[in-house]
């Protein structure tokens, strides 16, 4: 069994050698953050460390916090631990965190996606002895289609709605998924309107140099009739609310890996479901683990028991680690 470079506590993943936590869910003195989603970057910590690409959106979400930043691949010595952040491919600025103590290397993946999406930094495999992996979609049924074909379906659906005199409303998490979808749509089809939660995040990422098409924020004074055939991107919670009714006749859809499951599509009561996720699918999880060359695998948030059993059957030393990262509806919205 490998040395316990990282241990699992009631506050989060802890490194004794460096006296820091990774994505802790309770307030700590020093928190190393993989990415800016609310279940990984929480308020209340005294000091934060993240990538320079992650910091702006995290500060936007959390307000005045004490943040130190590193570039991808930069090595920091914290106590007796050597730490570096490596692209996770999940959303802009997202990272896997590599921790080395006395020659023993562990990697905490946070959330990750192994297939490049052309928008955020591409996933970088990191060799290690022990790998802490998410398995949000750790079942063989979860296989993602090629992003180009999904984009074509999405734009065809939008164009058809516009031709029928309908608005097109697409539910997507405001950090990561919304911007990825914006990078996929064809602005020549029509105007693109955004919920304030999405537009505020867009502004932060545009200021960092991430390329996004022009969008129009939906404000109280906006007249939806002035934007016929528009695509409206909003957080999933906004769909079916009074906010969406201002656009008149509309067709709605969700964009999530969970749309692969028919039952979820039915419960969402949307007209369409686009299967696209910022997490690795079954094949992606397996490929990522193989590329680490790790013998010890710790499964977190997702189909942990099933995935750990499969890994053990393949010769890995795998075990489940309880965490307080996203699950249920929160995970479905973010995925």
Distance CA(60)–CA(36), nearest Å, equals: 10
The residue among 274, 300, 316 that closes a domain is 274
Q: Which of 94, 102, 104 is nearest to 127 (CA)?
A: 104
pLDDT in the model for residue 269: 64
With a cut of 80, say whether residue 66 has pLDDT above it: yes
pLDDT tens digits for 81-102?
999 999 999 999 999 999 999 9
Same domain membership, residue 211 and residue 319: no
**Whether 105 and 184 share a structural domain:** no
Using CA atoms, how far apart are residues 19 and 2, in angstroms rounded to an integer?
Answer: 19
One domain for residues 267 and 287: no
Look at residue 71 and tell me whether its pLDDT is greater than 60.
Answer: yes
pLDDT at 131: 98
Q: Answer yes or no: do 291 and 262 share one domain.
A: no
Please check whether residues 268 and 159 belong to one and the same domain: yes
Is residue 222 situated within a structural domain? Answer: yes
The CATH number linked to 182 is 3.40.50.10710
Confidence of residue 149 (pLDDT cuts 50, 70, 90): very high
**Same domain, yes or no: 176 and 81:** no
Secondary structure, 3-state, 92-123: CCCEEEEEEECCEEEEECCCCCCCCCCCCCCC
Distance CA(13)–CA(31), nearest Å, equals: 10
Query: At residue 267, does pLDDT exceed 60?
Result: no
Task: Kindly state whether residue 2 falls inside one of the protein's structural domains.
Answer: no
Length of the chain: 335
| Residue 310 CB neighbour total at 10 angstroms | 20
Query: Is residue 236 a part of any domain in this protein?
Result: yes
For 172-214, what is each residue's pLDDT tens digit?
Answer: 999 999 999 999 999 999 999 999 999 999 999 999 999 999 9
Same domain, 158 and 249: yes
Are residues 161 and 250 located together in one domain of the fold? Answer: yes
At 331 the pLDDT is 43
* 117-139 confidence digits (pLDDT tens): 999 999 999 999 999 999 999 99
In the prediction, which pLDDT does 266 show?
Answer: 56
Domain ends where: 255, 274, 293? 274
- 1 is a domain residue: no
pLDDT of amino acid 268: 60
Residue 244 shares a structural domain with residue 284: no
Counting the structural domains of the chain, the total is 2
Q: For the domain that residue 137 is a member of, what is the CATH number?
A: 3.60.15.10
Give residue 239's pLDDT.
Answer: 84
Q: Which residues contact 280 (CB under 8 A, 6 or more apart)?
A: 112, 113, 114, 134, 137, 287, 288
| Residue 241 confidence class, pLDDT cut points 50, 70, 90 | confident
Strand pairing partners for 87? 95
Residues 130 and 162 grouped into a single domain: no
Q: What is the mean pLDDT of the chain?
A: 93
If we measure between CA atoms, which residue out of 103, 77, 78, 98 comes closest to residue 88?
98
pLDDT in tens, 2-43: 578 999 999 999 999 999 999 999 999 999 999 999 999 999
Same-domain check for residues 306 and 231: no
Domain of residue 108: give its range: 7-141+279-334
**Residue 107: inside a domain, yes or no?**
yes
Q: What backbone torsions phi and psi does residue 142 show, to the nearest 5 degrees? A: -90, 100
Give me 154's structure tokens: 């999405």
Residue range 149-167: average pLDDT?
A: 97
Residue 335's pLDDT is what?
Answer: 59
Rounded distance between C-alpha atoms, residue 182 and residue 212, angstroms: 6
b/e code 30-45 from CB counts within 10 Å (16+ = b):
bbbbbbbbebbbbeeb
Residues above pLDDT 90, as percent of the chain: 86
Regarding whether 212 and 157 lie in a shared domain, the answer is yes
pLDDT band at 333 (very low <50, low <70, confident <90, very high): very low
Last residue of a domain, one of 234, 254, 274: 274
């Amino acid at each position: 069994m490998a040395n316990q470079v990282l241990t699992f506590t009631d506050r989060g993943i802890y490194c004794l050698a460096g006296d820091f936590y990774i994505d802790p869910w309770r307030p700590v003195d020093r928190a190393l953050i993989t990415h800016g989603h609310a279940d990984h970057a929480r308020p209340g910590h005294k000091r934060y460390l993240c990538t320079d690409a992650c910091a702006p959106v995290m500060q936007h979400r959390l307000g005045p916090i004490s943040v130190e930043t590193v570039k991808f691949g930069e090595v920091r010595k914290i106590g007796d631990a050597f730490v570096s952040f490596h692209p996770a491919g999940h959303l802009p600025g997202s990272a896997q965190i590599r921790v080395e103590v006395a020659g023993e290397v562990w990697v905490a993946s946070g959330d990750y996606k192994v297939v490049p999406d052309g928008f955020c930094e591409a996933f970088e495999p990191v060799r290690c002895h022990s790998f802490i992996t998410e398995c949000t979609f750790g079942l063989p049924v979860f296989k993602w289609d090629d992003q180009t074909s999904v984009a074509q379906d999405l734009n065809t659906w939008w164009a058809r709605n516009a031709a029928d005199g309908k608005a097109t409303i697409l539910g997507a998490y405001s950090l990561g998924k919304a911007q990825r979808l914006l990078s996929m749509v064809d602005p020549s089809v029509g105007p693109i309107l955004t919920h304030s939660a999405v537009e505020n995040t867009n502004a932060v990422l545009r200021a960092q140099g991430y390329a996004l098409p022009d969008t129009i924020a939906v404000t109280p004074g906006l007249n939806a009739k002035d934007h016929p055939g528009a695509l409206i991107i909003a957080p999933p919670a906004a769909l079916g609310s009074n906010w969406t009714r201002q656009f008149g006749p509309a067709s709605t859809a969700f964009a999530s890996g969970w749309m692969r499951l028919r039952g979820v599509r039915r419960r969402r009561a949307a007209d369409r479901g686009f299967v696209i996720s910022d997490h690795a699918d079954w094949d992606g999880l397996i490929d990522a683990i193989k590329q680490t060359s790790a013998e010890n695998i710790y499964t977190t948030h997702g189909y942990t028991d099933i995935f750990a059993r499969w890994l053990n059957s393949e010769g890995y030393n795998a075990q489940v680690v309880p965490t307080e990262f996203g699950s249920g509806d929160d995970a479905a919205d973010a995925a």
